[in-house]
Chains A and B, each alone.
Chain A
Amino acid sequence: MNIDCQTKSPHVSDEVRKTTCYMCACRCGIDVHVRDGRVRYIQGNRDHPVNRGVLCAKGSAGMLHLESPARLQSPLMRTGPRGAGEFREVSWDEALDTACAWLGEIRSKDPRKLAFYTGRDQSQSLTAWWAQQFGTPNYASHGGFCSVNMAAAGIYSIGGSFWEFAQPDWERTRLLLLFGVAEDHDSNPIKLGLSALRRRGARIVSINPVRTGYSAIADTWLGVTPGADGLLVLSLVRELLRSGRVDSDFLRRHTNAGWLVVDGEGESAGLFARDEEGNPLVVDGSSGKLANAAAPGAVPLLAASVDMPDGSRASTVFSRMAAKYLDNRYAPETVAPRTGVSASAIRGLAAELARTAFDETIELPVPWTDVHGNTHPTTVGRPVAIHAMRGISAHGNGFQTCRSLHLLQMLLGAVDCPGGTRFKAPYPKPVELHPRPSGFSGCDTPLAGPPLGYPLGPDDLLVDAHGNPQRLDKAYSWEAPMAGHGMLHAAIPNAAAGDPYPVDVMFLYMANMAWNSSMNTPAAIEALTARGEDGAYRIPKLIVADAFNSETTSYADLVLPDTTYLERHDCISLLDRPIGEPDLIADAVRQPVVELTRNVRPFQDVLIEIGGRLKLPGFVTSGDKPRWRDYAHYMVTREVVPGIGPLAGWRGRNGDRTGRGEPNPQQLEKYVEAGCFWSQEIPSEARFFKNLNRDYQEWAVNLGLLPRPAPFQLQIYSEPLRRFQLAAEGFGERQPPDELRQRIREKFDPFPIWYDAAGDAAGDYPLHAITQRPMAMYHSWGSHNPWLRQLHADNSLYVPGPVCDAAQLTDGCWAWLESPIARIKVRVKRMEAVNGQTVWSWNAVAKRPRAWGLSQGAPESRKSFLLNHVISDLLPEQPDGCRWSNSDPITGQAAWFDLRVSIRRADDTEECAYPQFTLQGLPPGLEDGPPELRYGEEWT
C-alpha cells in the first residue's frame, strides 16, 4: 500500500523571520515561521552561537504569547482600590502626561523619591542610564533577588562569575561539577554541553539536594543539604591542600597566593604589603628579595613569612590559607553530618578532582603570550570545570560559598584554561575596572555615574555622614556593602515603612514584585496597599510596565502596557550580559516579527520618550528635542563613549568596523540580514588565561571591551573584604554602626569561609525547603501559556520517603508546611532521590485567582502554592533586638533558600491549597480566555 494522506511537501510558511527568543533569560536565536501574518511555528536558529538550532519548551511555545487573554490592551489608570484590578483605559498621551507630571515634580524636588526597579530586564544599560540621568540612586534590577552572590563573588575573586559570564569548556572538560544549577539560565547551552560531555564520556558530578533535571543524568549525585555547599567545598580544599595536590605554578603566576599580607594588628593589618607605588609585594623565589608582584619575571614564593622594611611582618596568602583550611573543622568527618555527604564521598571527590586535574592534564599546541611578554609554547589545561547557579546563590552564605568555589578552581589551576571553566568576553575583568556605585548628586542633576557598581572598601559605600543608607533598598550601606545589583526585594517593604525614607513614585518594569518576586508575598501585598494616617497609600504613586495582567499590575496606579518579545526591537548588548562563547564574542537584536494590534508600546520606547519629555540630560539634543525616536534608533545611535554603543557589529559609517566605530545608520538592517546577531571568533592565541593573556588584552582593547589593558591576578585573598573588616575592627573614618560590627568582622573574611545561614537543624523546624524552576517554565509570564501550563498547572511538595513515613504522609495527601512566620497547605508527593532533610517544589506555578488570564478556579490558584508565603523578609531578632534583612550580609542577596520548615498532615479534607487570595478584577479590554484553542487550524 502506498497511501499519502496529503502532499509530500506542504507549504510551511510565507516567510521565516529571525529574531531572539525571550521566553527566558537564555537569549537563543529563533527562526519564526510567519504565515498569513501569524506565527506558524518557531524553531531554533541553527547558526546562532547560543542554541545552535535547538530550542526548549518555552521557546517553542512562544507563539501562544500572541494569543494570551492576559495581554494588556491599552494604558490604564486605576479607578478602584489597589489590587482590585479596576481601571479605566486612557490614551498614551494621558498616560505619559501623568507619568511625566509625577516624575518631573520629584526630579526637581528630590529625585530620590523615585524608586525604579526592573525585573528580568535585558536592557539594563538603558534603564540604569535612565535612572542615572534622572538622578535617583534607587534603581536596581532582578539580580539582588536572583544571583548577585554569584556575580559579585566571581567578580571580586576571578574577574567574572559562572552564570552567563563563563561556561565549562564543553569540548575538553573531563570532570564537571554542577552546584545548585537551576535550569533557566543558559538553559540550552548547558543542555547542549551536558550532552557533549556524555558523548565524550566525561564525568558529571551534581551537587544538589534534589536529583531531578541535570542531576538525573549526572554520573554521580551528591545530595547535599541546602546551605552546606560551601562547607563541602572547603573540605575539598582542605583535602587538596593536605595532599599537596594543588597547581603551584598557576597559583604563583595567576593568583595572589604569593602576595604578602601584613601580619599583626593595626590599620594595615591584613592588607597587602605594598611598595611605595602601591604595588603588592611578593618574595621573589630566585632572589629571595621583595619584589613587585606584577613585575615581569617575579616568581613569588608561595610559603613565606618575612620581616618588612618598616618593621612589620608579612606572610603570604598561601601560608595563611594553608593554616586556615588545614584546620580539622574542615575535615571530611567533621563536615559530613552538616553537608549530608559522607566523608568517603568527599575524599573520593577530592581524589577525583586531583586525578583529573593533574593526571589528565591537557596540553593544547596553542602558543600564548603573557602580559610580561613570555611566550608559552603550549596551553596547559586542567580539565575540571565547575558550574554553579542559584542553589548556591540564594543563601545567606552564598557570597562566601561562591568564593569557596572559585578558590577550589584556583587551587586546581582550572580557571579560563583548556578544559576548565572559561570566560566569555568581555569577561574576565578586574573588579577595579567596574564602576563604583553612584549616589545622589542633587535635584535636576544626574548621578555622577551608574547607580550600581562594585565597592572596593568603606569609602565607596552609599551612606550619609551618620552611616545611614542613602538608597531605599539599603544596598551599599553597612547592611549590604557589596550589593552589586541592588536589593529588589527590599524596595517595597522599605518604601512602605518609610525606612530609610519614603518615596513618592515607585516605577516597576517586568517584575512581579507583588507576587513571587518578593520575599514574602502577603507582606508585599500589604505594603503596596498600606495607607498612612491621612488615608493615602504609603507608597503614593505606583507605575507598572508589563505586557500582561500580572498580579503586580493590579496594584498599579498607572499601567504602561508593554509588547511581547515578538513585537518589538530589542538589543542583547555586550553592555549587559554576554551571549557569546569562550571562543567567540556575540551580541544580538530582536525585531518585530508580527504586526502589533493593540494600543501598547515597547517599554524601552516609552522610557526613551519619558526621558525626552523630562528633558533628561542625554535624552535630548542640544536643542532640547528628543534625541531618539524609539529604542531601535537608540540601539543604533547611542554612544556610551565615543565609538562604543549598544551593538558591536557593523559599526562605522560603512559598517566595516567592529566594536569601536561611529554609529552606522544601517546597523540594524545588517543585524537583521545576518539573522539578528553578530559574532566574531576570538583569535586562537587569545582564548585562554585572558587575565594575563597579552593578545586577549590587546584584542579586547581594540574591540572596545576594555578601556585599556587590564591584566590582573585572581584574588584568593580579597582585600576589599578585609577593608570592611578593618572598619568593623575600628580602623578608618567610615565606621559601621556598632550593632553590625561583629557581623562584619565575622562574615567579611578575606578568605572564603562557611557559616550556617540556615540556622540550626535542631528545633521546631527540622527541614529545609527550597524551590526549583521547572525546565519548561520561566517566571509567571511563561507559566500562563496554555501549552506550558498543561505541563505544570499545579505543584506538589516533594517530601523525602523517610519524612513521609515518620509524619504519615502519603502521595496526594495535604499537609501543613510551617515556618517560624506562617504556614501553608500543600499537596504531598513522596520522593526518594532527594536529600533527607529537604522538601522542595516547583516555583512560579501558583497564581492569584483570575490573574494572567486564567479562570477563577484554575489549579494554579486552587491547588498551587508559593513558598514565598512562609519566607520572611527579616531574620529572627538578634540579642540586641535588631532584625536584619533575610539577605546575605555581604551582598544583600535575598536568602530565600535558607527557609526552615516543619510538616504535618492536614486534618481537613478540603482539596485546596492555603492561603487563597481574592479574585483579581479584569481590566477593561481584557476578557476571559476562550473555551478551546485550535491553534493553526486554518493551515491544516
Chain B
Amino acid sequence: MHPALSIILFTTLSGAGFGLCFWVGLLGSGLHAYQVALTGFASIGLASAGLLCSVFHLRRPSRAWRAFSQWRSSWLSREALIAPASLAMLAAFVAATALEHSAAATLGWIAAPVALLAVFATSMIYTQLKAVAAWHTMRTPLLFLAYAISSGFYFMLAMLGLAKLTMPQHGGGPVVPDGLLVFLATTLAPAAFLVQYLWWRRRDAVGFGKSSAESATGLGNPGSVRMLEPPHTGANYLTSEMGYVVARRHAAKLRWISAIVGAAVPAILCLWAGISIAGQPALSWLAAIAHLLGAGIARWLFFAEARHTVMLYYQ
C-alpha cells in the first residue's frame, strides 16, 4: 500500500497523543494540576496534530464533517467520533483537576480507557480490511495499542521532565513506585517492538491470505495465471495506491533501524538514567522522540509492506 505521509503521521502522532491521554487519565489524579495541565495539553496537541494530518489525506476535506455520520457501520466514522470525545473528556479532566473538582479522578479514569478506544478504532480502520491480509488480524489493534501506550508513556516522562524544568516547585514524579517507573521506561519500547515483531512474523507469512491470482481470476483450474498485458500501459490510481512495493532487502534494513531507534535507544537511555529519568528532561525527550521515530518507521513499513489483493490482478 502507498505509505502516505499524512496517514503515517496521523496514526503515529494520534497514537502517541491518545497514549499520553491514557497515561494522564490513569495517573493524573496523583499529579499536580500544573503537571496535569501540561501533559493533558500535550496529549490533546499530539492527538489533534495527528487528526489534522489525516485531513490532508482527504481529497475533499470540506466534507470531512460527514465522517461523523456513519458510526453504525464504519470504523473510520467511529474513530472520528471517539477521538474528539476522548479529547473532550481529557480536557474535562484537566479542567476538573485545575478547579480541584471532586469528580476529577473519576473523569481521569474514564478518559484513560476511552483514549485507548480511540486508538483501537483507528486500528480497526485497517484491521477490518480483508483485502489487505497483513492488516486483517487482531494483532493489528494490539500493535497500535502497544505503540500508543509506549509512546504515550515516553511523552509523559518527557512532559513531566519539562514540567520540572519550568516549575521545579511542582516537581515530583508520577505516583508510581520508582522501580515500576524504571521498569516501564526500559521495557515498554522493547515490548511494543516485540508486538511489532510478532506482527511482522505473521505479515511475512500471510502474503495475500487465501487469495491468489488464480482465485482472483477464477482461471487457475488447473494452472497458473500470469499477467501478460496490463489494462493500461501506464500507472493508474489502483497501482499507485495499492501497488507500492518495497524491496525485501530494503525493508529488512528498515525494520532493524526502526527497532534500534524505537526500542533499543529509549530503553538504553532510560536504563542509563535509572530512577532519575523523570527528572532528566533532555534524556526523556530524546527517548520519546527516538521511540516515536522508530514507531514512525515501523508504521511506514506497516503500509509499504502491506499487499492488497487488487495487485493479484497485476502480477
Partner-B contacts on A (CB < 8 A): 790-795, 829, 831, 833, 859
Complex CA–CA separation, A747 to B233 (angstroms) = 43
Complex CA–CA separation, A702 to B234 (angstroms) = 56
B194-244 CB contacts (< 8 Å) to partner A: 228, 231-234
Complex CA–CA separation, A790 to B233 (angstroms) = 7
A859 touches B228 (CB 8 A): no
B228 touches A793 (CB 8 A): no
B233 touches A794 (CB 8 A): yes
Complex CA–CA separation, A794 to B228 (angstroms) = 14
17 chain-A/chain-B pairs, Cβ below 8 angstroms = A790-B232, A790-B233, A790-B234, A791-B231, A791-B232, A791-B233, A792-B233, A793-B232, A793-B233, A793-B234, A794-B233, A795-B233, A829-B228, A831-B228, A833-B228, A859-B233, A859-B234
Residue of A nearest to B228 (CB): A831
CB neighbours of B232 from chain A (8 A): 790-791, 793
Given contacts A790-B234, A791-B232, 5 further A-B contacts (CB under 8 A): A793-B234, A794-B233, A829-B228, A833-B228, A859-B234
CB neighbours of B234 from chain A (8 A): 790, 793, 859
CB neighbours of A790 from chain B (8 A): 232-234
Complex CA–CA separation, A708 to B41 (angstroms) = 101
CB neighbours of B228 from chain A (8 A): 829, 831, 833
Complex CA–CA separation, A794 to B235 (angstroms) = 12
Residue of A nearest to B234 (CB): A793
CB neighbours of A833 from chain B (8 A): 228
CB neighbours of A792 from chain B (8 A): 233
Residue of B nearest to A845 (CB): B233
Residue of B nearest to A863 (CB): B233
A772 nearest CB across to chain B (Å): 12
Complex CA–CA separation, A859 to B232 (angstroms) = 12
Residue of B nearest to A796 (CB): B233
Complex CA–CA separation, A16 to B146 (angstroms) = 64
CB neighbours of A794 from chain B (8 A): 233
Complex CA–CA separation, A829 to B231 (angstroms) = 15
Partner-A contacts on B (CB < 8 A): 228, 231-234
Complex CA–CA separation, A829 to B232 (angstroms) = 15
B228, B231, B232, B233 pick with most chain A CB within 10 angstroms? B233
B67 nearest CB across to chain A (Å): 18
Residue of B nearest to A798 (CB): B228
Complex CA–CA separation, A773 to B268 (angstroms) = 65
Residue of B nearest to A833 (CB): B228
A427 nearest CB across to chain B (Å): 36
Residue of B nearest to A860 (CB): B233
Complex CA–CA separation, A790 to B236 (angstroms) = 10
CB neighbours of B231 from chain A (8 A): 791
CB neighbours of A831 from chain B (8 A): 228
Complex CA–CA separation, A266 to B155 (angstroms) = 109
Residue of B nearest to A792 (CB): B233
3 smallest A-B Cβ distances: which pairs?
Answer: A793-B233, A790-B232, A794-B233
CB neighbours of A829 from chain B (8 A): 228
Complex CA–CA separation, A346 to B235 (angstroms) = 43
CB neighbours of A795 from chain B (8 A): 233
Complex CA–CA separation, A761 to B53 (angstroms) = 64
Residue of B nearest to A787 (CB): B232
A846 nearest CB across to chain B (Å): 12
Complex CA–CA separation, A833 to B231 (angstroms) = 18
Residue of A nearest to B236 (CB): A790
A227 nearest CB across to chain B (Å): 24
Residue of B nearest to A790 (CB): B232
A347 nearest CB across to chain B (Å): 28
A57 nearest CB across to chain B (Å): 12
Complex CA–CA separation, A790 to B232 (angstroms) = 6
CB neighbours of B233 from chain A (8 A): 790-795, 859
Residue of B nearest to A211 (CB): B228
A174 nearest CB across to chain B (Å): 28
B118 nearest CB across to chain A (Å): 29
Complex CA–CA separation, A899 to B230 (angstroms) = 27
A791, A794, A859 pick with most chain B CB within 10 angstroms? A791
Complex CA–CA separation, A831 to B226 (angstroms) = 10
Complex CA–CA separation, A791 to B231 (angstroms) = 7
Complex CA–CA separation, A859 to B233 (angstroms) = 9
Complex CA–CA separation, A769 to B228 (angstroms) = 19
Complex CA–CA separation, A780 to B232 (angstroms) = 18
B228 nearest CB across to chain A (Å): 6
CB neighbours of A859 from chain B (8 A): 233-234
Complex CA–CA separation, A481 to B96 (angstroms) = 104
A97 nearest CB across to chain B (Å): 45
Residue of B nearest to A864 (CB): B233
A584 nearest CB across to chain B (Å): 37
Residue of A nearest to B232 (CB): A790
Residue of B nearest to A795 (CB): B233
Complex CA–CA separation, A795 to B228 (angstroms) = 13
Complex CA–CA separation, A795 to B233 (angstroms) = 8
Complex CA–CA separation, A792 to B229 (angstroms) = 10
Complex CA–CA separation, A859 to B228 (angstroms) = 19
A833 nearest CB across to chain B (Å): 8
A194 nearest CB across to chain B (Å): 20
A48 nearest CB across to chain B (Å): 29
Residue of A nearest to B231 (CB): A791
B229 nearest CB across to chain A (Å): 8
CB neighbours of A791 from chain B (8 A): 231-233
A527 nearest CB across to chain B (Å): 32
Complex CA–CA separation, A641 to B234 (angstroms) = 54
Residue of B nearest to A216 (CB): B228
A862 nearest CB across to chain B (Å): 12
Complex CA–CA separation, A358 to B124 (angstroms) = 69
B282 nearest CB across to chain A (Å): 47
Complex CA–CA separation, A859 to B235 (angstroms) = 12
A1 nearest CB across to chain B (Å): 12
Complex CA–CA separation, A829 to B230 (angstroms) = 12
A212 nearest CB across to chain B (Å): 8
Complex CA–CA separation, A153 to B234 (angstroms) = 42
Complex CA–CA separation, A831 to B228 (angstroms) = 7
B313 nearest CB across to chain A (Å): 16
A581 nearest CB across to chain B (Å): 32
A885 nearest CB across to chain B (Å): 35
Complex CA–CA separation, A795 to B234 (angstroms) = 11
Complex CA–CA separation, A369 to B200 (angstroms) = 82
Complex CA–CA separation, A197 to B147 (angstroms) = 62
Complex CA–CA separation, A791 to B230 (angstroms) = 9
A668 nearest CB across to chain B (Å): 41
A913 nearest CB across to chain B (Å): 13
A814 nearest CB across to chain B (Å): 16
Complex CA–CA separation, A829 to B228 (angstroms) = 8
Complex CA–CA separation, A792 to B234 (angstroms) = 8
